[in-house]
Amino acid sequence: MIFKQRKVGIFIGMAKTIIGNISPYAGYLTLALVGVMSFYNTIYPLFSSWGIEISFWVFCAVLVLIIFVVAVLEYVFMMPSYYEAGNRQAWEAGGPLQDKITQMEKDIKEIKGLLNGKGS
């Protein structure tokens, strides 16, 4: 059986796009709430049992520092590797973009030859 696509208007597409765009913010809120909950239910009681008193604000500062360090590591190491791998995969897989770039390179070479007086 072949399923036929239906035109249902833009509402569903807009709703899905908006939900997708706000998802990271919901994730940040969830992270903050889990951090507060883990401090009061796990971290504070654990450290207190060892005789170490840690304030909530110190805990928050440590979390922000950890997030900052992870962001720096992501920027310095992971992003370049991620994009390089994606670019290499896209190029080696071939496709219309590769064909267009190859044709553009040929055209540029021909234009350079004409500008240098070599003609074609």
- For the stretch 42-69, pLDDT in tens is 999 999 999 999 999 999 899 889 989 9
pTM greater than 0.75 (yes/no): no
With vertex at residue 30, the alpha carbon angle to CA 66 and CA 42, rounded to the nearest 5 degrees, is 65
The pLDDT confidence band at residue 120, using thresholds 50, 70 and 90, is low
- Give the tens place of pLDDT for each residue, 11-41: 998 999 999 999 999 998 998 899 899 999 9
